[in-house]
Structure 1
Amino acid sequence: MRMVFRWYGRGNDTVTLEQIKQIPGVEGIVWALHDMMPGEEWPMDKIMAYKELSDAHGLHLEVVESVNVHEDIKLGLSTRDLYIDNYIRTIEKLAKVGVKTICYNFMPVFDWTRTDLYKELEDGSTALFYEKAAIDSMDPHELVRKIAVKPDLTMPGWEPERLAQLSVLFEAYKNVTEEDLWGNLQYFLERVVPAAAEHDIKMAIHPDDPPWPVFGLPRIMTGRDSIRRLLDLVDSPYNCVTLCSGSLGANPANDIAAMVREFADRIPFAHIRNVKVYENGDFVETSHRASDGSVDTVEVVRAYSDIGFTGYARPDHGRHIWDEKCRPGYGLYDRALGIMYLWGVWDAAERAKKERMNG
């Protein structure tokens, strides 16, 4: 397991590369050009700026999250080939700086959905929270006003320029079915995966967050069956999945450890985090400790050990603790604690495996 840490860039993150470097076992950053709109070709000079920064701190930048997919591609519009061509040229440039995995998603309109960015927990920390009843009764414009109004830091998937066209986007998706979305995803992958394979970069789709329809919009990456279908769309070792235990774990029916074992050779990148799911469908993000949430993170990490996982992993979202002022879900303290918890479970699992092998 190769530990990495998501970083939003100098001037756009409360966490510094100097701090990341001090977290035991972290070898690289997970990055993106967050000032680029979906569909734009990434400029080489901006890519190189990240390369120079990461090199200066002894960190690699082999994982990009995300090269966002333009809405016209998801909608299957006649303009999609222009944006796919831009995507392919971006892949070619990323290969030149050593990128090996691109995480992306295919969620319509909203990249992720929560109703509260700072829900207070019993211990006084705060975390990202999803209230099912609120989403079921809320107008999406109201959610945008609540979540994305004048953020101090960029909110990937909640770009103000795009959300300003919310009514237009919802109208465009009005007659788009799940099958339509699957067809548009296949078209995208049939164009992009061969280019990624040529440059030895794995395309790793992120599951929908949460893994069910929101505001009537279709969602297709929701569990084991959809991952199987995704991998069959283009049968290539470069068509992969970013297995996110938090996104998938919001649905208690998803057995994350079983998915790790089944899709072992198609998981280049893992997000390992925990969520506590309530009977009414609400969920809140918790510490990474297994007993604090509904995801058995111990068994998930054991599964990665069992398959001999050599891909990248990051702790994903954390709580906001010790009065840290940070981007929602992306502070330093709780993610660093999460990494040490994951390493502890990993080291124990690896030692147990070695003892079994030695009889």
Structure 2
Amino acid sequence: MRESFRWFGPPDRITLPEIVQTGATGIVTALHEIPYGVVWTKEAIAERQALVREASGERLEWTVVESLPVHEAIKLASGGGDELETLYENYRISLKNLAACGISTVCYNFMPLLDWTRTELAHPLAGGGTSLRFNMQDFAAFDVYMLERPGAEADFSADVLQRAKAWIDASRPEDRERLLAAIMAGLPGAYERYDVPGLRAVLARYEGITKDDIRANYKRFLEAVVPTAEEAGVRLCVHPDDPPRPVFGLPRVVSNEDDIAFILDAVPSLANGLTLCSGSLGAGPANDVVAIARRFAEKIHFAHLRNVAKDADGSFEEANHLDGDTDMVALLRVLLGEERRRRAEGRADFEMPMRPDHGHELLADLGRGTHPGYPLIGRMRGLAELRGAIRAIETLDRAA
């Protein structure tokens, strides 16, 4: 597997020379400064490629785009046919420009509004350090009592609602501000923030939109861009919802095995694939991540490897990469087996890029102010654990 590391571009507090020291050789990044729906030019792509090479002493290569964003108007199918066609065309041009620059793996998501959702960005760990965490009672407190979303109570159990009420009654203004900030960190690119009235306003745009509506809009998007990706040799790979459940009443359409099957069947093509995120899918109690990987192995073009530990009420916490509720060794066996199959087919692109996803803040990570979930040492630890597991699997398989 191609060991990769996510980098958020020049503003990232983690530097490319530091990433070199992790042992990764691939960089996963995006042109985050370009507004959604605007074409990524060949010049801008090449400039970022050159920066990655030069700053890393030619030891790193930009190999995966994460993400080429899908404009909210596409998810909503709003703005009229002309605006949508312009957005589709801009996306197609960006795909062709990436391919022309030699980048062929493009991760994206179709999550309405929020890319991911957590309620704690620095949950203290027993042995020291911090992790990301999603507390169901805190989320319910925000949704029901701070956001005051109509009908929100129906999305939570009586026990969760009781604990949410106790939390809101005991909370101080700074507790509520901290909760708002944690939830806002999941907005695309983590660069935009709303206060509570602002969040209500943007959520209103989705009023009356159902899961079937989002699916139909998604299928229209795939029909518009997958043929171009196929022609250009680009592998599109959708990232699952995080968490894999409706959030603030927003429909989610990439949450489970049935959703993935719908997407991949909507426009059958090797260019229409999956980013296997073991943490996002693993947060769903009904999801068997290993079985999902086995079923869709041929269409997995990129892997985010992380683990979560779930609670009975739907809460979950980022675990160590080899711990948590997903059998990471079994999952790696599936992915490595798919690589062997592709190599046997004679495919030049048999090697699957992967990156250690998220990580605990440890040691010098603490207080550094890196992107939530993306510290240096915690991810390097995860990469080292994954590297060791992969080496052990490969050694055992050769001896068998």
Query: Out of 97, 111, 116, which is 1:112 matched to?
Result: 116
Q: Is the Cα contact below 8 Å between 2:187 and 2:193 reproduced in 1?
A: no
Counterpart position of 1:328 = 372
Secondary structure, aligned partner of 1:328: coil
Q: Distance in 1 between matches of 2:25 and 2:245?
A: 34
Q: Is the Cα contact below 8 Å between 2:306 and 2:358 reproduced in 1?
A: yes
How many residues end up aligned between the 2 structures? 349
Q: Distance in 1 between matches of 2:219 and 2:237?
A: 14
CA shift for structure 1 position 3: 1.1
| Unpaired segments ≥5 residues, structure 2 | 148-175, 341-350
1:169 aligns with 2:210: no
Q: Is the Cα contact below 8 Å between 1:246 and 1:273 reproduced in 2?
A: yes
Letter in structure 1 aligned against 2:52: S
Letter in structure 1 aligned against 2:333: R
CA shift for structure 1 position 157: 4.2
Query: Out of 50, 53, 58, which is 2:51 matched to?
Result: 53
Counterpart position of 1:234 = 267
Query: Out of 262, 272, 296, which is 2:327 matched to?
Result: 296
CA shift for structure 1 position 20: 1.3
CA shift for structure 1 position 317: 0.4
Q: Distance in 1 between matches of 2:110 and 2:29?
A: 18
User: Which structure carries more helix by proportion?
Assistant: 2
Change (3 A) 1:184 1:165: farther
Q: Is the Cα contact below 8 Å between 1:148 and 1:160 reproduced in 2?
A: no
Counterpart position of 1:124 = 128
CA shift for structure 1 position 308: 2.6
Q: Is the Cα contact below 8 Å between 1:135 and 1:214 reproduced in 2?
A: no
Secondary structure, aligned partner of 1:251: coil
Secondary structure, aligned partner of 2:25: strand
Counterpart position of 2:88 = 84
1:274-314 Cα deviation digits (max 9, x unpaired) = 11111121111122122xx2222122112212323621100
Identity %: 39
Deviates more, 1:42-51 or 1:235-244: 42-51
Counterpart position of 2:356 = 315
CA shift for structure 1 position 92: 1.5
Structure 1 length as normaliser, TM-score?
0.92
Q: Distance in 1 between matches of 2:5 and 2:227?
A: 28
Q: Distance in 2 between matches of 1:227 and 1:216?
A: 20
Letter in structure 2 aligned against 1:244: C
Query: Out of 72, 94, 97, which is 2:101 matched to?
Result: 97
Deviates more, 1:80-89 or 1:262-271: 80-89
Counterpart position of 1:2 = 2
Counterpart position of 1:341 = 385
Counterpart position of 1:160 = 192
Q: Distance in 2 between matches of 1:250 and 1:161?
A: 25
Q: Distance in 1 between matches of 2:198 and 2:68?
A: 21
Q: Distance in 1 between matches of 2:96 and 2:258?
A: 31
Letter in structure 2 aligned against 1:146: A
Counterpart position of 1:16 = 15
Structure number with bigger Rg: 2
CA shift for structure 1 position 146: 2.1
Letter in structure 2 aligned against 1:67: L
Q: Distance in 2 between matches of 1:147 and 1:45?
A: 35
Counterpart position of 1:29 = 27
Moved over 3 A (4+): 139-145, 154-159, 161-168
Deviates more, 1:299-308 or 1:214-223: 299-308
1:146 aligns with 2:168: no
Counterpart position of 2:395 = 351
Structure 2 length as normaliser, TM-score?
0.82
Query: Out of 31, 40, 47, which is 1:42 matched to?
Result: 40
Q: Is the Cα contact below 8 Å between 2:307 and 2:326 reproduced in 1?
A: yes
Letter in structure 2 aligned against 1:147: A
Change (3 A) 1:114 1:259: same
Change (3 A) 1:14 1:122: same
CA shift for structure 1 position 200: 0.7
Q: Is the Cα contact below 8 Å between 1:73 and 1:184 reproduced in 2?
A: yes
Secondary structure, aligned partner of 1:308: helix
Q: Distance in 2 between matches of 1:67 and 1:167?
A: 26
Deviates more, 1:313-322 or 1:46-55: 46-55
1:68 aligns with 2:69: yes
